[in-house]
Amino acid sequence: MQAMHTNNLNIGYEDRLIVEDLNIAIPKGKITALVGANGSGKSTILKTLARLMSPSNGTVMLDGKSIHKQSTKEVAKQLAILPQNPTAPDGLTVSELVSYGRFPYQRGFGSLSKEDRSIIQWAVESTGLLEFKDRPIDRLSGGQRQRAWIAMALAQQTDLLFLDEPTTYLDMAHQLEVLELLQQLNATAGRTIIMVVHDLNHASRYAQHMVAIKKGQVVSVGAPVAVMTKDVLREVFNIETDIIPDPRTGVPLCFPFALADNKPQVAEMILEPVKVS
Question: Mind giving me the DSSP string for 225-243?
Answer: HHHSSHHHHHHHH-EEEEE
State the pLDDT at residue 13: 86
Q: Report if residue 95 sits inside a domain.
A: no
CA distance 145 to 156: 18
Indicate whether 84 belongs to any domain.
no
Q: How many domains does the chain have?
A: 1
- Tell me the per-residue pLDDT of 120-135, one tens digit each, with 9 for 90 and over: 999 999 999 999 999 9
- Kindly give the parts of the chain with pLDDT less than 50: 264-274, 276-277
Within a domain: 144: no
User: 115 lies in a domain?
Assistant: no
Per-residue confidence (pLDDT) for residue 178, from 0 to 100 = 93
pLDDT value of residue 109? 62
Is 219 within the bounds of a domain?
Answer: yes
pLDDT at site 269: 40
Beta pairing class for 252-259 and 239-245: antiparallel
Amino acid at the residue 23: N
**Residue 58 is part of which domain span?**
2-78+158-271
Looking at residue 266, what is its pLDDT?
42
- Quick check: is 126 in a domain? no
| 52 Cβ contact partners less than 8 Å away, ≥ 6 residues apart | 81, 83
Instruction: Round to whole Å and give the CA distance between 243 and 38.
Output: 22
Residue 104 belongs to some domain of the structure: no
Domain-located, residue 119: no
**Distance (Å, rounded) from C-alpha 25 to C-alpha 150?**
24
Identify the pLDDT of residue 110: 67
Domain CATH for 22 = 3.40.50.300
Residue 229 contacts by C-beta under 8 Å, 6 or more apart in sequence? Answer: 220, 243, 252
Instruction: Tell me the backbone φ, ψ of residue 12, rounded to 5 degrees.
Output: -155, 175
Question: What pLDDT shows up at residue 222?
Answer: 98
